Amino acid sequence: MTELIPAPRGATAGSGEVRLTRDSRLYADTATEGVGRWLSAALRQATGLPLREGRALDDAEGGIGLQLAPGLGPEEYRLVSDDSGVRVEGGSAAGVFWGAQTLRQLLGPDAYRRAPLGRDRAWTVPYLTIEDAPRFRWRGLMLDVARHFMPKDGVLRYLDLMAAHKLNVFHFHLTDDQGWRIEIKRHPRLTEIGSWRARTKTGHRASPLWEDKPHGGYYTQDDIREIVAYAAERHITVVPEIDVPGHSQAAIAAYPELGNTDVLAASVEGGAALSVWDTWGINPNVLAPTDNTLRFYEGVFEEVLELFPSEFVHVGGDECPKDQWRRSETAQARIRELGLADEDELQSWFIKHFDAWLSARGRRLIGWDEILEGGLAEGAAVSSWRGYAGGIAAARAGHDVVMCPEQQVYLDHRQDPGPEEPVPIGWVRTLEDVYRFEPVPPELTPEEARHVLGTQANLWTEVMEDHARVDYQAFPRLAAFAEVAWSALPAPAERDFAGFQRRMAAHYRRLDALGVAYRPPTGPLPWQRRPGVTGRPIDGPPPNR
């Protein structure tokens, strides 16, 4: 009971245990039948027990019952294990699903396997009562598939890993300078050209190493539909990100007219067309502020909205250098036409256009905290990544905020200062550092703090070439982050990290059963290291602002 991650709000132990057998049944009422299908499939493959369907709650005596309970919050659940079996009640199907995830943990690490181990064993749940609910409604993970493409099966696997940790928002970073990963039928060159690059920088952009082979891939619209449906079955919302107006070289490579053509030719050697970018960093090639660009991306977003039913659509808005706009007569003419003060206001105009466009279609825009520069449209939300300051400013201005400060929860940053850490990037963020992260800044008043929708960990994949590298950077820190996002923890300095480490000893066995290539507490295994690959370590503690 004490080994659960994330920690529940309250748990009371009883005396005895429920034993699941070949005669045990699983009952789900009409509202929870989707959860029942998921749980029965997961447990059948791991245990080999048939877990036949119960036709009434009484049929599940000695087994498992799933049902809604009036009075519980939308994601709240109650799990009771006693002499009548295991009952999971929730205020909605989502609450029941999170309770089912807790039940899976209680059954032991082998409950996470994809086939029985072929030996007789008892599948037991101790008598107890757990009452639990999340602290935040937005418990997110951002996965960047633009820098290094992750095939569809890998994305589905990460949705399962999110669900196992009670995370419920998957921020899907689909486009960037290095690749365009989503099929747009009216603009086929976005994937024909924009989804592939000729080679890839190995390590940080200062590294002399290259992987001299093409890299790329994209998701068809049916792939996206499958991913969104798979996530919905696990009560995870998928929030797509389509970057504008910066981080757009892959799109410009496919459709050069999207770029600042009156200055671009002079900046590319020999006047050649841009290609999909093969290195990392902040790219100077940004979208032109023209009507053609607006119409093009409206067409992109029309297809995106058909695929993603999420309330929020992420438009990026970060790291948009203004040099080309300063030199572009077309951009300067647009500034004069609109009566804008400068290029910052031009970016604000660009973002506000899509805010109004999305609002007219019942959606909400969210972007990185640079969208605050030049003024932010009413109703837009902010992902605060450059520390806490952007989130504080946005909340004080009445905007909703997702806290994801780079200094705290960018999981591409290194986990240890040791020389064996693979491709060391950024500040050291240990498991304990992430466990002591606090999403709500103390500077906010209670009224302002209500604008903090929640928090999100980010996985940028410049130096993560495959799923094993993503696993290494994500885990075990994502387990600590999940507890921060879900559980009502004390103030950071008062958190029981020793207790969390004790629970992690059991959780590592769950991750082993799931095949997660996490960083061991003792340091990287030999095949997890990347000797000789240049990183970008930053010394000292990260700024807490």
Give pLDDT tens digits for 272-283.
Answer: 689 999 999 999
Give pLDDT tens digits for 470-512.
Answer: 999 999 999 999 999 999 999 999 999 999 999 999 999 999 9
Q: Give the whole-angstrom CA distance, residue 373 versus residue 397.
A: 13
The CA distances from residue 517 to 110, 115, 527, in Å, are 17, 19, 11
Nearest Cα to 322, choosing from 301, 291, 349? 349
- Using an 8 Å Cβ cutoff, are 51 and 40 in contact? yes
**Continuous H helices in 175-273:** 189-192, 221-233, 249-254, 261-267
Give pLDDT tens digits for 205-226.
Answer: 999 999 999 999 999 999 999 9
Separate counts of helices (H) and strands (E) for the chain: 18, 23
CB atoms within 10 A of CB 349: 16
- Quick check: 270 pLDDT over 50? no
319 is catalytic: yes
Q: What is the mean pLDDT of residues 513-532?
A: 97
The one catalytic residue in 29, 319, 420, 432 is 319
176 is catalytic: yes
- Here the tokens at position 527 are 């095949």
Q: Give the whole-angstrom CA distance, residue 503 versus residue 428.
A: 23
CA 19, 24, 29: angle at the middle one, nearest 5? 120
Identity of residue 409: V
Lookup result for tokens 């190995």: 202
Beta-ladder partners of 78: 89, 131
The one catalytic residue in 132, 144, 176, 400 is 176
Nearest Cα to 285, choosing from 243, 242, 321? 321
Predicted structure pTM score:
0.97
Residue 361's pLDDT band (cuts 50, 70, 90): very high
Beta-ladder partners of 215: 197
Q: Give residue 366's pLDDT.
A: 98
Q: Give residue 545's pLDDT.
A: 73
- Quick check: 269 pLDDT over 90? no
The one catalytic residue in 173, 247, 413, 507 is 247
Q: What is the mean pLDDT of residues 403-413?
A: 97
Q: Give the whole-angstrom CA distance, residue 75 versus residue 258.
A: 43
Q: Give residue 2's pLDDT.
A: 66
